[in-house]
Structure formats: C-alpha cells, structure tokens
Amino acid sequence: MLPQEIIRKKRDGGRLSEAQIKAFIDGVTSGAVTEGQIAAFCMAVFFRRMELDERVALTRAMTHSGTVLNWKPLGLPGPVLDKHSTGGVGDKVSLILAPVIAACGGFVPMISGRGLGHTGGTLDKLDSIPGYTSLPDRPVLERVIREVGCAIIGATDAFAPADKRIYAVRDITATVESLDLITASILSKKLAAGLDALVMDVKWGSGAFMAEFDDALALAESIATVASGAGMPTVALLTDMNEVLGRTAGNALEVRESIDLLTGASRDARLTEVTTALSAELLVLGGLAPDEAAARALVDQAIASGAAAERFGRMVAALGGPADLLEHPDRHLDAAPVTLEVRAETDGFVTAIDTRALGVAVVALGGGRTRVQDPIDPAVGLTDVSGLGSEAGAKAAPLAIIHARTGEAAEAAATMVRGAFTVGQSAPKPNPPIARRLTR
C-alpha cells in the first residue's frame, strides 16, 4: 500500500482499514515513510478525525512497532497495573501510587516521562535522587518488579518507536492537539508495558495542558474507550489542576513531599485524595479489592503501616539510589542556598491561582527546560504553596516560599509568583479534586 494513497484517503474523509493503518505505521518504523508523509498524515487526521475502530487500530499498530513486555514468564502472583497522568504543576502522585499498589499486591512497571512545558516530569523528580537509574536494562527492570513490586523508569527507544518519530513531527507541524493522535501516543506506550489494567489521570484547569473541562473530558472519554477496545481495562478520572497538587513544585522538593506523605511526616489533603482515588481504581480493576470502599481501606493501611514507604525505599535502592533515603532525605536531596517568602500585598483570601504561571516560575528558576538539552537544577522550586481559599496578607502565611540558587533569581521568581495569585475579600468554594469518573 502506497503511503500517499493512505494519506489521500484520510485527507478526503475516508475511513482507514486496520491493514492500511498497520502498513503506514510499519513504514514509519522502518523509515520507508518520510517525515513529509508523516506530517501530511498527521494533518489529515487532525482535520478529518478518526472513528473509534481507527483509533484502536492506530494504537495497536504503534504499540507493536517495538518491544511489548510480557510478564507471564516471571510468574508474578498479582496483576500488572499502572497509572498515567496528562501532567500538572506539583503532580507527584506517581511517586506515591506505585509503592502503594506494590504494597497491596500489584506490580507496577511505570514508564514515565520528563518535564514538558510548565509541568514537571516524574523522571526529572527521580533524577534528583543520587544514583537512581531511570533507564535500566530489561533484566534489571524484571528483577526489580519481581522483588520489589514497582519500578518507575523511562521509555527506551525500544518502546513504541513509531510514536517517537510521529511525535517529533507533530511537535513542529501544529498537530500536537489532535485527540486521536494524543490517545494513540499515550496508550501505545502503556500497552507496550504489558499491563493488565490502567488508570488515567486527566487533568484540567489553569495548570493543565487542557485548561477547558470539556477538552479534558473528551480526551478522558477517548482514552478510556480506546484502551478498553484494545483489550486493556481502563478507568479515567478528571482531576482538578486549578491549584498546585500538594504544597511543592520542583524536583527534589516534590520527592521530599512524597516521602513525607509516605512516612506520615505530613499529608496534604488534596494530594492524598487524588492518590487514593487513583490507587483505589487500580486495585478494583486488578481484582485486589472487591469495591472502592475496600480499596480505599487497603490504600490507607499501606500508608499508615509504613508498607508503601518501605516499597519506595527498596525501589530507590534497587535502582541505584541510597538505601537510607527515607531515613535521611536531607542528606541526599540537594537544597537550594536561597529561600524567600512571598506574601500578598493585600489582606484577604486566595480566590484564583494561575497555576501555569507557578509552573513557569519553577522553570525560570532552573527547575525545568526551555530547550531539550537544558540541564535541570533539582533543588529549586516552591514550597508551602497556598491553595484556593487560603488566608493571604502581611500577617498570614506566605503565598509560597521560593528556593533558588541566587537572590536575584529568587526576586525575579517572587514577582511571577505574586502575580499568579488573586486575592479577594471572600473565600471561594473549593473545587472537588475529582471532577468526573469515566469508563468505556
């Protein structure tokens, strides 16, 4: 099948067969399909859209363009489960959820990504732990999954290589926002991980890539339906990103907050609720709990007993990090030399937050990238970030505390942080952290 004829059919609004989609993706993987043809295909899909069966076929073809893990030979005594987030400011759920699920009897080979735009990446957070190997070879991955129950790693070129090539073209051809291509991109890598079930955290709000609720809802519906159609039971939760998730934003700072939650040192209510809700969905999907109430009780017990913290510590050590990270986090996590409290200039309550602007402030401090090759400073970022409804003013708690390398950088970030908060005289009604639940 000639790639140009496949492109022509979709350009003219036709419905592609599974064989045509597979042929095109095979060409993408082998190099027979050019970048220009990939660009034309993506633009045709962007404008003409795909039907459900086309999305499923595209996802499957991209999944099988590279390595697909098979956990059955390991004889794991529990289901293989995972969670994926569309990303947000302060989103550290993966660091907590993976060891929680492992402590409850599941196995979590979590393939995560790096920061994108104003949102932090799970791998960047883990890279702030000295010695942690985020790209282990397959024997190491299998050993850690078998012995610990969870491993949070990055995707190598072996996983869904067609997606990597297509995404690079989408990024420079204004087709990143295609719902069909987003769905296939996310799910191809998750299906390649050999999962028994998946929970999706689709975020919406000022700190999410999809600021509008209806756009996030459409993506959640697409992912839940296509994943189930491809043979992987999936639930999607729409979660609120109109404020920072937790109290920190910045790589080492978020690792520390995750450790504090796991060990009981401190616990942010919204972060706990989102993590518990996503974990409970996975436990039910994996057959480890009969219903949501029982699943939530298992999650609470895993954290309260220290079992989840113990799994996190073992995962870090098994992947090259320090064995005593839980006991001595300050000994191993880099700290910025300058801290600066940012307070509101008027008294009142926080009525709105430009959460994206807070993420941009972290990037400006050096906690994210403006270019692919940029290094990341793991120590910088924000702590004690106020949420909606918090008191603000000269006598109230600070809007946030900046952690920076220099005083000049801290002052520049303070202007950005102060501008991200709107202060009024009446406390707003809080947004529920979970806005919607979707299945196929």
SS3 416: helix
Kindly state the helix (H) or strand (E) to which residue 84 belongs, with its residue range.
strand 81-85
Q: Sheet harboring 381-383: ordered strands across?
A: 338-342, 400-404, 381-383
First-residue to last-residue Cα distance in the chain: 33
Tell me: pLDDT of 113 over 80. Answer: no
Return the closest-CA partner of residue 254 out of 406, 89, 113: 89
What pLDDT is attached to residue 373? 67
* Residue type for position 363: V
Question: What pLDDT is attached to residue 258?
Answer: 98
Question: What are the CA-CA distances from residue 112 to residues 25, 83, 85, 87 (Å)?
Answer: 23, 10, 9, 11
Q: What is the pLDDT of residues 254-308, one digit of tens each?
A: 999 999 999 999 999 999 999 999 999 999 999 999 999 999 999 999 999 999 9
> For residues 250 and 358, what is the distance between their CA atoms, to the nearest angstrom?
10
H or E segment at 438?
strand 434-438
> Pick from 344, 355, 330: which is nearest to 423 by CA?
344
The pLDDT of residue 374? 75
Q: Is 378 left (phi over 0), alpha (psi -120 to 50) or beta?
A: alpha
Separation between Cα atoms, residue 397 and residue 384, nearest integer Å: 9
Question: What pLDDT was estimated at residue 176?
Answer: 78
**Is there a contact between 126 and 132 (Cβ–Cβ < 8 Å)?**
yes
Residues ≥6 apart with Cβ < 8 Å to 139 = none
pLDDT per position as a tens digit, 122-151 = 889 999 999 999 999 989 999 999 999 999
Domain locations along the chain: 3-63, 72-157+172-328, 334-424
372 has a pLDDT exceeding 70: no
Report the pLDDT averaged over residues 171-190.
Answer: 88
CATH of domain 72-157+172-328: 3.40.1030.10
Of the candidates 240, 304, 237, 297, which has an alpha carbon nearest to the alpha carbon of residue 270?
240
Backbone angles phi, psi at 236, to 5 degrees: -115, 135
DSSP-derived pairing of the beta strands 348-353 and 421-424: antiparallel
Task: Please state the φ and ψ torsions of residue 120, each to the nearest 5 degrees.
Answer: -80, 155
Residue 116: pLDDT band with limits 50, 70, 90: low
131-136: long-range contacts (C-beta < 8 A, 24 or more apart)? 131/320, 131/321, 131/322, 132/316, 132/319, 132/320, 132/321, 133/319, 133/320, 134/319, 136/319
Fold that domain 334-424 belongs to in CATH: Aldehyde Oxidoreductase; domain 3 (3.90.1170)
Tell me the catalytic residues.
Answer: 82-85, 122, 170, 185, 189-190
Please give the mean pLDDT across all residues of the chain: 94
Could you read off the pLDDT of 30-50 as tens digits, one per residue?
999 999 999 999 999 999 999
CA dihedral 17, 177, 185, 102 (to 10 degrees): -140
How many Cα neighbours within 13 Å face the side chain of 56?
A: 14
- Alpha-carbon span 194 to 284, nearest angstrom: 18
- DSSP string of 342-409, one letter each residue: E--SS-EEEEEE-HHHHHHHHIIIIIS-SSTT----TT-EEES---TT-EESTTS--SEEEEESSHHH
425 pLDDT more than 80: yes
More confident residue, 185 or 301: 301
Beta strands in 161-300 (DSSP E): 197-204, 234-240
Q: What integer pLDDT is reported at residue 370 of this predicted model? A: 67
Contacts of residue 329, defined as CB under 8 A and 6 or more positions apart, other chains included, come to 255, 256, 259
Widest Cα–Cα separation across the chain: 70
Say which range, 222-236, 255-269, 285-299, 382-396, has the weakest mean pLDDT.
222-236
> For residue range 329-371, what is the model confidence (pLDDT) as tens digits?
999 999 999 999 999 999 999 999 999 999 999 999 999 876 6
Residue 433, CA distances (Å) to 272, 324, 388 in order? 10, 33, 12
Tell me which residue has tokens 């890539």.
209
CA atoms within 13 A on the CB side of 156: 13
Superfamily of segment(s) 3-63: Transferase, Pyrimidine Nucleoside Phosphorylase; Chain C (1.20.970.10)
| pTM score of the predicted model | 0.91
| pLDDT tens by residue, 10-37 | 999 999 999 999 999 999 999 999 999 9
